[in-house]
Structure 1
Amino acid sequence: MDIVPLGPGFGAELRGVTLADVASDDGVYAAVRAAFEEHSVLVFRDQEATDELQLAFSRRFGPPEVTKVGSQGTGSHFVILSTIGADGKVVPPDHRLSLRSKANQLWHTDSSFKRVPALTSILSARIIPANGGETEYVSTRLAFERLDPAMRNRLQSSFAWHDYAHSRSQIAPDLASPEERGALPPQCWRMVWKNPVNGHGAIYLASHAYAVEGMEKAAGKKLIDELMAFATAPGTSYLHQWRRGDVVMWDNRATMHRGRPWPAHEARLMVRTTISATDADGVDTMRPPSSQAAE
């Protein structure tokens, strides 16, 4: 397996390895898992990413999430990210599927709004537009390292509230349905996630974050906005330009990402599996002291 660096200090393409290799070989999995812990974003090119194989690959890294209510793929282990309607045609820009795609263009980390947050997301390209539709990543681990020591110390004992409805309301007031709001109440997480394998800390934030525990609302939101801007500063990102057969996985503990726009008339179909974080991934240390027992 060859590891080819991609981004500014993070991200790598793995060559000479397939999803099937990882799914079936303990040694290959161990090497890929080590690369994941080090590089945070991994790219696999020219893969035969069937649903069955993607799920087998994903299960290597932990328990797969069941897709939430209100999403394409609800009740399965797959999140279907598509702008193709039931009639097989691309939906108009004001359609709910298009609005959800716009919400994914906000900087975020997956599942920070859930009772169990995510370790990793695995995304495969099935149908891609001729132009645009890239996915952009930043390392919140490297952002944490760039902070001054006083802020690093402050964040390690700070907690932020995350809410799915908050991020969706930035696109449309009712984009999060009543069913989604009921199923996904706000969650509180430590603002620094320490990797138990290598000890690196990373800022844990997303567009879902709306308040800081113990801070006045406006001041907390200002701190969140400043940290988000700091972590996504120009020159710090890796922009992945998709090709058919690409599979990309990323560490939700140590990155943020966003989709990029593409022409509204062009179809895009991506399939995501998401792996829940466990205590072995450090999730037990992320809860406020009053609720650190595992869910």
Structure 2
Amino acid sequence: MAIAIRQLHPCFVGEVSGVDLGKPLASDEVAQLQAGIDHYGVLVFHGQDITDEQQLAFALNFGEREKARGGTVTKREDYRLSTGLNDVSNLGKDGKPLPADHRSHLFNLGNCLWHSDSSFRPIPAKYSILSARVVNPKGGNTEFADMRAAYDALDDEIRGEIEDLVCEHSLMYSRGALGFLDYSEEEKRMFKPVRQRLVRTHPAHGRKSLYLSSHAGAVSGMSVPEGRLLLRDLTEHATQPRFVYVHRWTLHDLVMWDNRQTMHRVRRYDQSQPRDMRRATVAGTEPTVAQQAAE
């Protein structure tokens, strides 16, 4: 069966059929999926019962794997996965849900805020590829916002105002919004703010998009309150229902998205029940703006 992609949302999101991601892809299949992710921003695959190794092999068709260091407060000796995938479950090394007061659990609740993966890195992530291994029985939908359509809907005055703005991104901003303020000196160094453009241009098709995230906590050249108010206003605009697709997970779904032109969040779910989600992250290739020490 040939690959087919059906649009799921008026703005973006394609549902892919006719491919088994557990098997190596032919070059023409990779090219079709590459064109699909460029166009739709989000690709949804159903019924993909794959291993960690197969998920990583699929991701490597689209670039190098992003190194995971610097995106968590979980100590290496406490990692549940050793396969190179990012663990975005609510599970500890013993395979059981983390206690409600566990530090890693509290930190990971930041994923419920709108964000773009790894915008807190000098070179942010290109693609994220998330596989549902255990689906929580209550809640846990993932929402995606089309940042291209959101940019297109801005009036000319606002576009002109934000065109050249640069923001500072850090995990300490997003987690601080939820009251997580306890960091070691090593973590503070690891989460040092980085600079990102507020408006990005996609290299494949040239469309502009807003580059927003809960990790953004300051705008260069603005006071902190003024910059955060602008970011809040833009986020409210970009996450209107007309720009948002809600993915309701079923077992063995796999969703791939382009972090350069979308934003996402997971919704609250029953943390006493297991939710096993594993992400392969494809590294970006260049910074959005020259990096320098954030003031």
Q: Compute the TM-score of the two structures, normalised by the length of structure 1.
A: 0.90
Contact 2:142 2:264 in 1 (8 A): yes
Larger deviation, residues 45-54 vs 64-73: 64-73
Q: Which amino acid aligns with 2:31?
A: A
What's the offset of the Cα at 1:62? 0.9
3-state SS of the aligned residue for 1:104? helix
3-state SS of the aligned residue for 2:68? coil
CA RMSD of aligned residues (A): 1.9
What's the offset of the Cα at 1:7? 2.2
3-state SS of the aligned residue for 2:126? strand
3-state SS of the aligned residue for 2:5? strand
- 1:263 aligns with 270
Q: Which amino acid aligns with 1:119?
A: K
Distance 2:182 2:130 in 1: 23
Q: Structure 2, unaligned stretches of length 5 or more?
A: none
- Relative to structure 1, is the Cα distance of residues 211 and 79 closer, same or farther in structure 2, using a 3 angstrom cutoff? same
Distance 1:217 1:30 in 2: 43
- 1:144 aligns with 151
Q: Deviations over 1:121-173 (max 9, x none)?
A: 01101111112111110001110000011222222211111111111112233
Q: Deviations over 1:202-225 (max 9, x none)?
A: 000100001111112211111111
Instruction: Indicate yes or no: 2:193 matched with 1:183.
Output: no
3-state SS of the aligned residue for 1:42? strand
What's the offset of the Cα at 1:109? 0.3
- 1:208 aligns with 215
- 1:43 aligns with 44
Aligned residues: 284
3-state SS of the aligned residue for 2:241? coil
Contact 1:84 1:267 in 2 (8 A): yes
Q: Which amino acid aligns with 2:283?
A: S
Contact 1:163 1:185 in 2 (8 A): yes
Q: Which amino acid aligns with 2:59?
A: S
Aligned match of 1:173 in 151, 170, 180? 180
Distance 2:273 2:40 in 1: 32
Aligned match of 1:10 in 5, 12, 20? 12
Q: Which amino acid aligns with 2:27?
A: D
Distance 1:176 1:198 in 2: 40
Distance 1:269 1:121 in 2: 16
Larger deviation, residues 216-225 vs 28-37: 216-225
Contact 2:41 2:257 in 1 (8 A): yes
- 1:19 aligns with 21
Q: Structure 1, unaligned stretches of length 5 or more?
A: none
Q: Which amino acid aligns with 1:161?
A: E
3-state SS of the aligned residue for 1:53? helix
Distance 1:199 1:32 in 2: 18
What's the offset of the Cα at 1:74? 8.4
Q: Compute the TM-score of the two structures, normalised by the length of structure 2.
A: 0.90
Larger deviation, residues 50-59 vs 98-107: 98-107
What's the offset of the Cα at 1:101? 3.5
Distance 1:49 1:97 in 2: 26
Distance 1:242 1:114 in 2: 28
Distance 2:87 2:10 in 1: 30
Q: Which amino acid aligns with 1:54?
A: Q
Q: Deviations over 1:224-267 (max 9, x none)?
A: 11101110123321111111111101110111100011113211
Instruction: Indicate yes or no: 2:240 matched with 1:238.
Output: no
Q: Deviations over 1:276-295 (max 9, x none)?
A: 1114xxx4xx204x76xxxx
